[in-house]
């Protein structure tokens, strides 16, 4: 039976803030003397801080800016690359109301008349949330003011302080997480973070900072990266050594289950039940052409079924849709609507809908193949899963230079065995990977060097594939110093030119590309295939040519579908960060814009 945790918001968490949390006295907050008395009070407040991801991970705006997607959405990185972002219209990420709520709790929780163990558990969760809050700020701005307490209007020294160094902020994050892992309970209500979720998050945070410092020369903190990589290794290793988690036998079951509460891979679950008013939403935005569409670059990252690199095929850039999906890593069929997929309520194989600005690939992960909105809205989301812990451990030890074959076997090896589900899974070996690094991945990540280069590249492949379209790619590209990938336009299905094409894998054509100068015939004059079904007509041509309904790289001569051609430049290191809103700097002259923003 699915267990639920309902979030109750109380007034202390809903203080209005016109200019952020620093400029208002908390006059709408409840009195700490009246509220912070029992464990129920502490739990009620902390549960109002729940922030784990839900179905939005499958349609994340930040992810749409990565090399995994094309997007028509108004997403931040796309606007930055187009020159449409400045301090005058900066994204609304400089907000502090949540921190005020967290610090208010930490300032008052000790008033509760309960045992220290109980107090420390909830304080640990509050500090876990504060660490997450500040890491998000570090990702956006690198250096920000650290506030470890609520601020009153008369505290001008705090209200208008300068940003603290990234090193101080991150050390404070570590202190919060150390307290959290030492005090948060293992057994907690379903759908809320317990000890193992905190450890998994700590490992994620430490890996982010360790790799960010290693690959970002603008910070001049490369020498300190090892400390964080060691923390990532230890925290992930603790989760692995606990013996409490195993991989789900079938990869696809993670993304279409009505109940993940007992799943041994899911460390933190976000539960939904549309019958009880807790719905994950609907399929709008996934499974067709709506703002986002997966990229060909992502398709090409998946290995062949026998473990060979897809990009080692001499003609891989000219393979058409049906051939691209033959004999691939089985996870590709859970992530994409591949040839032969049947989308309910239809009974015949799904034909990819082609439309300008979209790649022609359609996302399956996060799409619930049902016509019942109750079923669609009641699918749980694995907010944190064990597979990430395994890959965090593998990447940390590889970056530390201590990786062994046993490390790979108990991380990447387990993921591949699960993905291949009984078939002979390809083995990642240190010797083979390092002797022959993938040249395509090496070009994508030129900063990766050293004797473990091939192994690190393969671990990065595994991370991208295992968590494809789950909301992690953006942060990975940031920390790996791979900003130029944001500047690439996603490409789509390849067509060698005008003519008829099969998109379902039955060797019978489904669509026809005609010249942009030709006319689409009337319905009764359209060509029918061997099944007696009319072909779907598209006009092929170059990008933004008049009347064209499918943009091809070489126009009528063919090529992959293109979603943009205007050159874009990722300015280093500026575009790894966001500008502080100009209004904030006008009110606090001690604030300094990060890395080239004005």
Which phi and psi angles does 534 have, rounded to 5°?
Answer: -65, 140
| Residue 12 pLDDT exceeds 50 | no
pLDDT band at 151 (very low <50, low <70, confident <90, very high): confident
Cβ–Cβ under 8 Å, residues 285 and 13: no
| Residue 357 pLDDT exceeds 80 | yes
Neighbours of 18 (CB within 10 A): 6
Neighbours of 548 (CB within 10 A): 19
- Residue range(s) occupied by CATH 1.25.40.390 in the chain: 186-270+381-470
C-alpha 407/C-alpha 413 separation (Å) is 9
Specify the higher pLDDT residue, 333 or 59.
333
Give whole-number Cα distances, 31 to 112, 130, 139, 155, 487, in Å. Answer: 13, 22, 34, 20, 51
* Interval 29-82: pLDDT, tens: 567 777 899 999 999 999 999 999 999 999 988 899 999 999 999 999 999 999
The verdict on domain 1-55+92-178 having CATH code 1.25.40 is: yes
pLDDT band at 22 (very low <50, low <70, confident <90, very high): very low
% of the chain at pLDDT higher than 70: 95
- Alpha-carbon dihedral of residues 412, 417, 423, 429, nearest 10 degrees? 30
Give, for 270, the enclosing helix (H) or strand (E). strand 266-270
> What was the pLDDT predicted at 16?
30
> What was the pLDDT predicted at 284?
75
pLDDT band at 336 (very low <50, low <70, confident <90, very high): very high
Q: In this structure, what DSSP letter does residue 161 have?
A: P
* Interval 152-169: pLDDT, tens: 777 877 889 999 999 999
First to last CA, the chain: 54
Number of Cα atoms under 13 Å in the Cβ half of residue 141: 24
| Residue 14 pLDDT exceeds 90 | no
Any idea which of 17-26, 172-181, 207-216, 244-253 has the lowest mean pLDDT?
17-26
* Interval 97-123: pLDDT, tens: 999 999 999 999 999 999 999 999 999
Cβ–Cβ under 8 Å, residues 199 and 193: no
Residues, the chain = 598
* Interval 490-537: pLDDT, tens: 999 999 999 999 999 999 999 999 999 999 999 999 999 999 999 999
**The residue to which tokens 């490390």 are assigned:** 407
The structure tokens listed for 350 are: 């799904």
> What was the pLDDT predicted at 403?
98
C-alpha 206/C-alpha 39 separation (Å) is 31
* Interval 422-439: pLDDT, tens: 889 999 999 999 999 999
| Residue 443 pLDDT exceeds 60 | yes
Give the CATH number of domain 186-270+381-470; options: 1.25.40.390, 3.40.50.10320, 3.40.50.80, 3.40.920.10.
Answer: 1.25.40.390
């Amino acid at each position: 039976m699915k267990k639920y945790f309902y979030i109750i918001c109380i007034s202390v968490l809903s203080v209005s803030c016109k200019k952020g949390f620093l400029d208002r006295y908390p006059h709408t907050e409840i009195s700490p003397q009246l509220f912070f008395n029992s464990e129920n009070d502490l739990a009620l407040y902390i549960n109002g801080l729940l922030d784990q991801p839900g179905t939005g991970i499958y349609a994340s705006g930040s992810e749409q800016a990565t090399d995994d997607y094309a997007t028509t959405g108004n997403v931040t990185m796309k606007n930055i690359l187009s020159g449409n972002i400045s301090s005058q219209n900066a994204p609304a990420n400089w907000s502090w109301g949540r921190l005020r709520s967290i610090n208010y709790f930490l300032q008052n929780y000790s008033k509760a008349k309960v045992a220290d163990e109980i107090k420390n558990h909830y304080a640990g969760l509050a500090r876990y949330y504060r660490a997450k809050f500040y890491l998000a700020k570090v990702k956006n701005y690198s250096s920000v003011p650290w506030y470890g307490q609520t601020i009153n209007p008369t505290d001008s020294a705090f209200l208008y302080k300068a940003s603290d160094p990234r090193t101080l902020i991150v050390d404070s994050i570590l202190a919060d997480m150390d307290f959290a892992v030492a005090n948060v309970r293992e057994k907690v209500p379903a759908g809320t973070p317990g000890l193992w979720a905190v450890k998994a998050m700590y490992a994620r945070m430490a890996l982010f900072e360790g790799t960010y410092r290693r690959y970002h020369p603008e910070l001049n903190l490369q020498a300190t990266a090892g400390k964080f990589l060691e923390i990532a290794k230890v925290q992930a290793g603790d989760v692995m050594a606990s013996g409490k988690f195993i991989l789900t036998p079938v990869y696809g079951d993670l993304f279409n289950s009505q109940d993940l509460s007992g799943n041994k891979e899911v460390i933190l679950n976000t539960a939904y039940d549309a019958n009880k008013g807790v719905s994950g939403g609907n399929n709008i935005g996934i499974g067709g052409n709506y703002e986002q569409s997966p990229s060909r670059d992502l398709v090409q990252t998946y290995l062949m079924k026998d473990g060979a690199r897809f990009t080692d095929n001499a003609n891989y850039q000219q393979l058409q849709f049906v051939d691209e999906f033959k004999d691939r890593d089985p996870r590709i069929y859970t992530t994409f609507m591949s040839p032969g997929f049947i989308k309910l309520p239809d009974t015949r194989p799904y034909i990819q809908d082609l439309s300008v600005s979209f790649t022609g690939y359609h996302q399956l992960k996060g799409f619930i193949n049902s016509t019942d909105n109750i079923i669609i809205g009641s699918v749980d989301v694995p907010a944190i899963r064990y597979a990430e812990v395994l890959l965090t451990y593998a990447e940390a030890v590889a970056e530390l230079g201590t990786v062994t074959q046993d490390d790979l076997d108990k991380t990447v090896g387990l993921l591949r065995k699960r993905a291949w589900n009984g078939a002979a899974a390809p083995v990642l070996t240190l010797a083979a990977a390092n002797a022959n690094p993938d040249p395509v991945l090496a070009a994508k990540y030129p900063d990766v060097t050293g004797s473990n280069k091939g192994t690190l590249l393969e671990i990065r492949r595994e991370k991208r594939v295992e968590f494809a379209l789950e909301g992690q790619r953006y942060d990975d590209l940031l920390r790996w110093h791979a900003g130029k990938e944001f500047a690439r336009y996603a490409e789509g299905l390849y067509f060698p030119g005008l003519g008829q094409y099969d998109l379902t894998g039955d060797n019978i054509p489904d669509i026809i590309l005609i010249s942009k100068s030709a006319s689409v015939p009337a319905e009764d004059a359209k060509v029918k295939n061997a099944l007696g079904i009319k072909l779907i007509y598209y006009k092929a041509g170059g990008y933004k040519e008049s009347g064209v309904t499918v943009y091809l790289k070489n126009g009528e001569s063919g090529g992959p579908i293109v979603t943009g051609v205007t050159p874009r430049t990722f300015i280093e290191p500026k575009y790894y960060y966001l500008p502080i809103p100009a209004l904030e700097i006008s009110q606090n002259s001690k604030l300094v814009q990060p890395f080239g923003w004005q």
